[in-house]
Structure 1
Amino acid sequence: MLPIFGRQILTGARMLLVLTLVLGLAYPLMMVAIGRLMPAQEASIRNSAGEVVGNAHLAQPVTGDEWFFPRPSADDYDGLASGATNLAANSPELLTQIADRRSRIASRERVDPASIPADALTASASGLDPDISPEYARLQVPRVARETGLSRKDVAEMVEANTQDPVLGFIGEPHVNVVTLNNDLANGSSAHVETNDGESTHASTTSTGGR
């Protein structure tokens, strides 16, 4: 009896030592190493005056066709009510929402409804995802250029500047942060646009919709 009990105690002690080394030392050190390899991100979004106007991790609602639109939100981008719709893929309500969004976006962007990417039609799980696909961002370039008076080339370059590649080259998909993109648009976009009476005026966007 005692020899068996002693072996059990010894086995337990060995397991405790191994788990302590693996979970208490090796795993935390590995997480620290991975964290140092990940690209650093400054979450605070500042305007040209240096004022904090948003967070790169939280989508904001926009008003006005001069801005890039984020993904839909089930909770109107309310950080205190973050969440998904929890509607099934075959839910009639969800299908109605998608059809309505497809129609509105096709009209707003003046494109074929079939060309609208899925992320433009469906809300994210949190309702606060600031990222959209490069396809959805590029779809909006002609409208933003038209509404701001900027050239499509300039707007497309802003999109490219705010496009993030997969982490470490293989984790995730390429994505565009709409919050930082709209902030760049607000801080840096200005152009001469022609008014209805034919006069040229200097127009500049100064704030992001919803802020």
Structure 2
Amino acid sequence: MTMLRPAILLFILLSLMTGGLYPLVTTALGQWWFKDQANGSLILQNGESRGSRLIGQNFSDAGYFQGRPSATAESPYNPMASGGSNLAGSNPELDKAVSERISALRAANPQANPTVPVELVTASASGLDYSLTPAAVAWQIPRVATARGLTTDQVSKLVAEHTQKPLVSFIGMPVINIVELNMALDALRKN
């Protein structure tokens, strides 16, 4: 019994530390240092949650910029089923899906360059990407401008305003948050 007592006390102590104290400290620090991220990076509009800045949404209307394809289960951009298609580059199903996406994008964007940016036809590993490179967004500008009755210069200016550049250029590349850009397009229409 004398050998068992220290083991039980150590078990209780470590359980309290790792199961209680550690989660409380990390939650408190997360709320203190990264409040927005810890609470889901929600986009609030008129007091109503419109989505998250870190999770893509399915935009299919011609007047909206479209993000990367989503391979999540049941429905596109399903945050409860994050994951890629797991199709290998040599899989004929992937070739077929990419070809269909290219055909659909070319049909929806007849005035754009025939070379479709790769990120518009391939799903990411998470299936929830919220951003695109400026090149992939620029490829869609003519379609969005025409559908909204705006000039390409007006839409290009809005895209430039929403381009997020990395703090140090060699650490990353510029990206554009598609959800925020589409919300800015809606706000532009209301003004």
TM-score (norm 1): 0.67
Cα distance between partner residues in 2 of 1:43 and 1:141: 27
Q: Which residue of 2 aligns with 1:172?
A: 172
Q: Does 1:147 align with 2:144?
A: no
**Secondary structure at 1:54's aligned position in 2?**
strand
Cα distance between partner residues in 1 of 2:167 and 2:96: 35
**Percent identity, aligned pairs only?**
36
Q: Which residue of 1 aligns with 2:49?
A: 52
Q: Does 1:122 align with 2:113?
A: no
**Distance verdict in 2 for CA 1:83–1:167, change over 3 Å:** farther
Q: Which residue of 2 aligns with 1:135?
A: 135
CA contact (8 A) 1:150 1:189 kept: no
Cα distance between partner residues in 1 of 2:175 and 2:183: 16
Cα distance between partner residues in 2 of 1:43 and 1:155: 25
**Secondary structure at 1:77's aligned position in 2?**
coil
Cα distance between partner residues in 1 of 2:156 and 2:48: 26
Q: For residue 187 of structure 1, what is the amino acid of its counterpart?
A: A
Q: For residue 134 of structure 1, what is the amino acid of its counterpart?
A: P
**C-alpha displacement of 1:63:** 3.1
TM-score (norm 2): 0.73
Q: Does 1:182 align with 2:182?
A: yes
Query: Which structure 2 residue ranges, 5 or more long, are not aligned?
Result: 1-28
Query: Which structure 1 residue ranges, 5 or more long, are not aligned?
Result: 1-31, 191-203, 205-211
Question: Runs of at least 4 residues of structure 1 off by over 6 A?
Answer: none
Q: Which residue of 2 aligns with 1:195?
A: none
Q: Which residue of 2 aligns with 1:93?
A: 93
**Secondary structure at 1:176's aligned position in 2?**
strand
Q: Which residue of 2 aligns with 1:103?
A: 103
**C-alpha displacement of 1:137:** 0.5
Q: Which has the larger radius of gyration?
A: 1
Q: Does 1:74 align with 2:71?
A: yes
Q: For residue 172 of structure 1, what is the amino acid of its counterpart?
A: G
Q: 1:63 aligns with which of 60, 65, 71?
A: 60
Cα distance between partner residues in 2 of 1:102 and 1:167: 33
Cα distance between partner residues in 2 of 1:171 and 1:124: 20
* CA offsets 1:133-190 (integer angstroms, 9 cap, x no match): 1111011111111111122111111111111112433222211110110111112235
Matches within 5 A, 1:7-18: none
Cα distance between partner residues in 2 of 1:183 and 1:50: 15
Cα distance between partner residues in 1 of 2:188 and 2:69: 26
**Secondary structure at 1:69's aligned position in 2?**
coil
**C-alpha displacement of 1:112:** 4.2
Cα distance between partner residues in 1 of 2:164 and 2:187: 20
